[in-house]
Amino acid sequence: MNRKSEINPVKRQINWHFNRKSLWILLAVIPGLLASCNKFLDEEIQGDFSSSTFYQNETQALQALTGAYNAISFSGSNNALWVIGDVASDDAIKGGNAGDQAEITYIDNFTADANNGIVNTYWQFLYEGIARANNVIAYTDKTPMGDALKTRIIGEARFLRAYNYFILVNTWGKVPLKLEPQVTQDAIHVPLSSIEAIYSQIEADLNAAIAVLPIEYSSSDQGRATRGAALGLLGKAQLYQQKWGSAISSFQQLEGLSVYGLLPHYQDIFKVENENSKESIWEIQHLTGKNPKLGNCLNQWFAPAIESGYSFNAPTDELVSAYEKSTSGTYDPRLDATVGRDGVEWLNGTPFQASWSPSGYLTKKHQQPLTEISLTFKGDGDLNYIYLRYADVLLMKSEAFNEIGNVDSSLANLNKVRVRAKNSITGEVPTDLLNPVTERGQSALRKIIQHERRVELGQEFHRYFDLMRWGKQVAESALGSSFNYETKRYLPIPQAEIDANQAI
């Protein structure tokens, strides 16, 4: 079965009152139509709202904000973060059947052009999220409601806008910086902005969010962007720009909130019962069995065919080999929490079979056992996606401290992650596995930290972005002779956007 037909382009968010204005202009130049269309023009569209009529109270503002959150979920197939983060890296291949989703193969091989379907739909997906966030920011400000809730809603929307732009700038580089509702020509036709300008806006949005977002929410609002999420994403954006001191400051402020920490056992992070745990800083929420669908489709896309899955995002031998192994044969426990490999127990209690995947492996972190999600709802899982967690912050802190020459602090943060991994070993703990790092040379320690990020965050869609920010030598060494850093680092801007946006 070719699932190319299942990926429908995300429709651009179109503001009705702009369309209605365009319709009036069109009819005004065709006088013969006016008499017969007066009644039609006077009719209100049933069940539809314009932005100018929808934002009448806090309930509607919150509903619009929910739409902005839904726009970044994995409930549909257009969220291609895994394609960029994993498949484009050295950690995974496309997987699936040979002909399925062939356009992903071009991304995997660094031959995708401006007409590639994944390039186009993912661009639209991210700008849909930005359009919804822009509407929330612009129209909530004019909505009659309490000031405290108003500022929080706008803060959440600014966080979501920053998140989308962070993905965009690290996938495409220069992109149009759209900050207003799409109701005027100037708001629609926006030229490319520099990478520096996009990061400046990301930082401005996150600083604004930090100033107003709460540290925690009640259980009924769990999953909303928090101050810690904004601080964590700000620190990450600063790290990507090599603003080492600023990144450290943001991460320290996050830790100062005293709500985050490592879970005792690595294997527990990716279970439904531990969603929104103290280790999770920013987590995209999913719910199964809802109409419209709010579940996580990765549960099916990454599963083997024997479980009605498509076996995409198949891990590579290179990733599996990156995990440490003791002389007695015990592996770093993060391996089997991340990857399904031959003969090792799979999610449903049976041994994994290498024949289930074209690479011999499948990713494990984004799937649920059939006791939680039956075959009937396989593509509608309720496991959240954790974009930013505390172990990631510790490793980013370690990296930043190493870059400014503070070796002691770098090692302290790095070894917290390794100690947790070692404590996750079941059975006898080998003495030669996952011991604390003692290396003090900056260059050697940099490579150790980069390796630790790979095995700690494996199959969490970060690897390609890490390789790119670490620069030409690291990226080309990891990705091989087919990858040229100068020409292949960023995806091409979709031809559909070039054709539609008159400012490009």
pLDDT value at residue 53 = 74
User: Which carries the bigger pLDDT value, residue 126 or residue 15?
Assistant: 126
Q: Tell me which long-range contacts 140-146 makes (C-beta under 8 A, separation of at least 24).
A: 140/55, 140/61, 140/64, 140/65, 142/55, 143/55, 143/56, 143/57, 143/58, 143/60, 143/61, 144/56, 144/57, 145/57, 145/58, 145/61, 146/58
pLDDT in tens, 194-224: 999 999 999 999 999 999 999 999 999 999 9
Phi-psi region of 433 (alpha: psi -120 to 50; beta: other; left: phi over 0): beta
Cα–Cα nearest to 362, from 418, 322, 307 = 307
Q: Which CATH number fits domain 61-272: 1.25.40.390, 3.40.50.620, 4.10.640.10, 3.90.25.10?
A: 1.25.40.390
pLDDT in tens, 94-139: 999 988 999 999 999 999 999 999 999 999 999 999 999 999 999 9
Cα distance between residue 269 and residue 224, in whole Å: 19
Neighbours of 222 (CB within 10 A): 13
Res. 265 pLDDT band, cuts 50 70 90: very high
**Is the per-residue pLDDT at 479 higher than 60?**
yes
pLDDT value at residue 23 = 27
Whole-model pTM: value is: 0.89
What are 56's two structure tokens? Answer: 């009448």
pLDDT value at residue 50 = 59
User: Is it true that domain 316-367+388-488 has CATH number 2.40.160.60?
Assistant: no
What are 224's two structure tokens? Answer: 């909303």
What are 5's two structure tokens? Answer: 């037909």
For the chain, the domains span 15-48, 61-272, 316-367+388-488
333 touches 417 (CB < 8 A): no
**Is the per-residue pLDDT at 16 higher than 60?**
no
**Mean predicted confidence (pLDDT) in 233-244:** 98
Percent of the chain scored above 90 by pLDDT? 88
pLDDT value at residue 482 = 87
